[in-house]
Chain A
Amino acid sequence: MTTAGRPNGGDDDALLSRERHNVFEILGDDALSGPAILRRMTVRPTEPGDQRLLYPALHSLEAGFKIRAEWRSDADGARHRVYRKRRLLPKPWGRQS
């Protein structure tokens, strides 16, 4: 997530690349929605910051087959798009989230 001011167009690729890296790190083994990822990212800095590259980063990772997305319903029936890392092999028993 970018915390600096609005970047110039030429910086977009570098910023998006860093955002992709951050998002991928934060996902860990969990399945998280966009707002949930944002909350985890904003736990560290106090400033909520600029969210403009969050979804481009998520969708770019998905298009690159790094993560996968699916729609899930919460307890209230509201549906959220959640992301999780793609795995070549399934996780061992006992570590399923």
Chain B
Amino acid sequence: MRIDWLFGVAYIVGFGAFLIAAVSLVRRGERRLDPGTGPTRTPSAAQSGDDDATSAYLDRVTAELRLPAVDVAEVRAELADHLQDSIASLEAEGLDRERATREALARLGSADELGRHLRQAHQSTRRLLAGVGGGVFAAGGGFVLGYLGGILLALLLAMVVFVITSVLARLGVPLPDLNDNGDTLNSVLLGISVAAAAALATRYAVRTSAGLSRRAPRSIAIFWAAAGAVGFGWYSIFGMRGAQSWPGVLVDLCIPVGVIAAAFVRIERPMPHVGRWAVAIVLISVVGVSLLGFAFSEASVSGGTSPTLVESGQPNQPVDMHFDTVAPLAPVGWLPGGNQFYGGGTGPDWDGTQITAVVDPNAAVPMSTAMANWHDVRFEAWHGFLDNPSVSYGIDPHYSSPFAVQPAAVHDTSIDAVFHFERMRSAGSWWVILTAVGPDGHRYRLGDVGGGMSHFNGSAWDWLTAPL
């Protein structure tokens, strides 16, 4: 195992700094939005000495403000302090209390106009830009925290489902057999994690940008809801690739709805406080998982879900592999040099599975010449028995047709085609046979190029539009 320590340290420090900065920014926005945790302790109404006329005036000003709660409280306290001072000065000049109050209020002008001017003063373009930038930054931190929280939530759900299914199984209740190598579980877990991450990121963005731009969360939620639904929706439906299943795709499709709900539902309520310990636990989790990831990536040279390929040499088939289900074997005499096809090859799953029929290097004539009397040369992919080779092997004779067909490209020394088994919902075990229509007009089997097993690897959209 070899770890690039410089990169590792830079990653940990950088990621930790980002997370701490994002949480600090969220807290700053929260302090602005929540009167209970505001940055300053404002004078109470009693201290300000509001009377009826003053209170009514201040009520009208604050009704026009439409600012976060802390700003409203500060403006009200400041104006009350100003009026108190102004009334005292006018009383010192000889005016009675009622006239002094009236004059002091008149000098401040119309309450509605003052409130509007104050709102415009607070909601400056610079603060709006700061709010947008801060919202994006906070969304990044929220996505990380939400993702980790989503993993915990998903694991908790998995444990609950496991307990329930175990109890039902003991009671003899018939349960569906998923038998998909954990694809359903993995896709659902991933979907829940991303859904939680997207929801928390959107909520962080709304609350933080509202606090920084001095706007009410509900007034800007629509923009973050739209941006989040488009951004996270695109990612969950088109960008997030991996194992898929119908329940997993259903969760993915719900992510844009969850984002919109997160932007609006009870958005005026304060966010739960994220303490130092929560940040520390997240950091330790991320660092630990990252180091494990580094270790595994160094230890393993393989990645993805490459299909398992079983090559077969046709002349040495030990058992009946049911190849006659596909087509009768081509007469040897029709192929110069006899049976000259060997096994196949495969490429990475995410690029498709490359199927190649290799020509005997000692063949007397090039493949193109040998295939001159054949047409409609193609590879046929049939469902196979590789799930349990000890029981059976080869093509599953329960099927009467291939589940995928690809025209073959004939080269001098090989014939090939690319299958996208990873884009098929239930490719599972497969076996590929090379066939062509012979001089007599009948299709014959020219050779088999092996089999393998593939799992779906793509986006939710790929799953929805998959041929099988």
Whether A81 lies near B81 (C-beta < 8 A) is yes
Whether B109 lies near A50 (C-beta < 8 A) is yes
CB contacts (< 8 Å) of B118 on chain A: these are 55-56, 59
CB contacts (< 8 Å) of B108 on chain A: these are 51-52
Could you list which residues of chain B lie within 8 angstroms of chain A, going by C-beta atoms? 40-43, 47, 74-75, 77-79, 81-82, 85-86, 107-110, 113-114, 117-118, 120-124, 126-127, 214
Given contacts A56-B114, A59-B118, 18 further A-B contacts (CB under 8 A): A6-B109, A16-B117, A33-B81, A35-B81, A35-B85, A50-B107, A52-B108, A52-B110, A52-B114, A52-B117, A53-B117, A55-B82, A57-B121, A60-B121, A63-B124, A71-B42, A79-B43, A79-B47
Bound-complex Cα distance A78 to B82 (A)? 12
> What distance in Å separates the Cβ of A51 from its nearest Cβ neighbour in chain B?
5
Using A35-B82, A55-B78, A79-B47 as known contacts, say yes or no to A70 and B40 having CB atoms under 8 A apart: yes
Whether A49 lies near B117 (C-beta < 8 A) is no
Q: Chain A interface residue count: which class?
A: 20 to 34
CB contacts (< 8 Å) of A34 on chain B: these are 78, 81-82
> What distance in Å separates the Cβ of A90 from its nearest Cβ neighbour in chain B?
22
Whether A78 lies near B113 (C-beta < 8 A) is no
Whether B109 lies near A78 (C-beta < 8 A) is no
CB contacts (< 8 Å) of B121 on chain A: these are 55-57, 59-60, 62-63
In order of increasing CB-CB distance, the 7 nearest A-B pairs are A52-B109, A56-B117, A60-B121, A59-B121, A35-B85, A63-B124, A71-B40
> What distance in Å separates the Cβ of A12 from its nearest Cβ neighbour in chain B?
8
Contact of A80 with B by CB under 8 A: yes
Listed by A's residue number, 21 A-B pairs whose Cβ atoms lie within 8 Å are A6-B109, A48-B107, A49-B107, A50-B107, A50-B109, A51-B108, A52-B114, A53-B117, A55-B78, A55-B117, A56-B118, A59-B121, A59-B122, A62-B121, A63-B121, A63-B122, A65-B126, A71-B40, A78-B43, A78-B81, A80-B81
Q: Mark A69-90, 1 if CB is under 8 A from B, else 0.
A: 0110000001111000000000
CB contacts (< 8 Å) of B43 on chain A: these are 78-79
> What distance in Å separates the Cβ of A17 from its nearest Cβ neighbour in chain B?
12
Bound-complex Cα distance A78 to B85 (A)? 11
> What distance in Å separates the Cβ of B100 from its nearest Cβ neighbour in chain A?
12
Bound-complex Cα distance A48 to B42 (A)? 27
CB contacts (< 8 Å) of A16 on chain B: these are 117
> What distance in Å separates the Cβ of B31 from its nearest Cβ neighbour in chain A?
14
Contact of A64 with B by CB under 8 A: yes
Q: Mark A6-25, 1 if CB is under 8 A from B, else 0.
A: 10000010001000000000
CB contacts (< 8 Å) of A33 on chain B: these are 81
Quick one: which of B40, B78, B126 has the most chain A CB within 10 A? B78
CB contacts (< 8 Å) of A55 on chain B: these are 75, 78-79, 82, 114, 117-118, 121
Closest to A61 in B: B121
- Which residues of chain A in 26-58 are interfacial with respect to chain B, using CB atoms and an 8 Å cutoff? 33-35, 48-53, 55-57
Whether A79 lies near B127 (C-beta < 8 A) is no
CB contacts (< 8 Å) of B124 on chain A: these are 60, 63-64
Quick one: which of B85, B118, B121 has the most chain A CB within 10 A? B121
CB contacts (< 8 Å) of A59 on chain B: these are 75, 118, 121-122
Bound-complex Cα distance A15 to B83 (A)? 22
Bound-complex Cα distance A81 to B77 (A)? 9
Bound-complex Cα distance A59 to B79 (A)? 12
Whether A51 lies near B47 (C-beta < 8 A) is no
Of the candidates B41, B107, B113, B122, which one forms a contact with A51 in the assembled complex, judged by CB atoms under 8 Å apart?
B107
Bound-complex Cα distance A81 to B40 (A)? 10
Closest to B81 in A: A80
Bound-complex Cα distance A70 to B78 (A)? 11
CB contacts (< 8 Å) of B126 on chain A: these are 63-65
Bound-complex Cα distance A64 to B127 (A)? 8
Whether A79 lies near B107 (C-beta < 8 A) is no
Whether A71 lies near B114 (C-beta < 8 A) is no
CB contacts (< 8 Å) of A64 on chain B: these are 124, 126
> What distance in Å separates the Cβ of B32 from its nearest Cβ neighbour in chain A?
13
Closest to B49 in A: A78
Bound-complex Cα distance A50 to B107 (A)? 5
Bound-complex Cα distance A53 to B107 (A)? 10
Using A51-B107, A52-B107 as known contacts, say yes or no to A78 and B47 having CB atoms under 8 A apart: yes
CB contacts (< 8 Å) of A50 on chain B: these are 107, 109
Bound-complex Cα distance A19 to B79 (A)? 18
CB contacts (< 8 Å) of A48 on chain B: these are 107
Bound-complex Cα distance A56 to B43 (A)? 20
Bound-complex Cα distance A62 to B123 (A)? 11
> What distance in Å separates the Cβ of A23 from its nearest Cβ neighbour in chain B?
12
